[in-house]
Structure 1
Amino acid sequence: MDDTDLASAPEWDVERPYVEVVDVGPEHLDRFGHTNNVVYLSWLERVAWGHSVSLGLDFAAYERLGAGCVARRHELDYLAPTFAGDRLWVATWVHENDFRLSMWRRYQILRASDRKTVLRAATQWVCIDMKTGRPRRMPPEFRAYAPWPK
């Protein structure tokens, strides 16, 4: 499979996640010669933001709605190392949403060369008021993008 229809790969934990491609470069490596754990977290944040933007919830929408989401908790399970030259498929989806204050987003990273899952992760995101930074109830627009019936 090439990178044209990544979301249909049978190895995904869910059907048709949002997927971005990352090529591991020397700048991503730690002193052990494999991808640094902090780099993975930055890729998860980037794919989460890309998914949000693809759903119409970019920063301008956050400002217009007066609400946005911030990370409260990350859980990362490193399953196999990756190295410079590896192409990775980084996927995300909204797994759980209480439609009040928080939602859980899941992630899965596959190495393209062998389609091995190298990382699984989850982030709890909390809805906040853009002016005060305090938790607030999700606006209806956030609930409209849930991947399941409301």
Structure 2
Amino acid sequence: MSTETQLTPETVIELMREERFVMMSTATAEGKIVSHPMTPQEVTDTGEVWFFIGLQGDQADAIRANPQVNLAFAETGSWLSVAGKAEFVEDRAKAAELWDGQVDAYFDGGLEDPNLGLLRVSGESAQYWGVPGGKVMAAVKMAAAKVTGQEGPGKAGTVEL
């Protein structure tokens, strides 16, 4: 990595809003780290990330036992890791606000599905590594660095949220 970059909470929020999918990592009761693909329904101006989640299953059980989670956002040329605390929220009005047709595939009963849960992750810190310029430019810069034997073009930063 060539340089440290100034990472701000606002930049973290912007980066989180750009991604449609995220990997959420939790720790099982045995201490094993596992990751699940998730779709953020909303990233608030304060950096809270809202998800729908099944209330029955290993992922929900792991969060109940240990609410510390990690959200990994990645695309070609950049990576964002957000450590935070997850909390189940019972708020039907918020669930209705966030509901979209894509969620139907996971919850047959819609908003009334007894397995439907609402999860809010509040970020505590974030780490970033990336190459400025977007996906195509990142791929070009990384390939050029490899061919020329120069240091990679990436930048890194850490911020408390």
Task: Confirm or deny a common fold (TM above 0.5).
Answer: no
Q: Which has the higher contact order (CA 8 A, sep 6+)?
A: 2
Structure showing greater radius of gyration is: 2
Q: Name the structure with the higher helix share.
A: 2
TM-score tier by shorter-chain length is under 0.3
- Greater strand share, 1 or 2? 2
TM-score normalised according to structure 1 size: 0.28
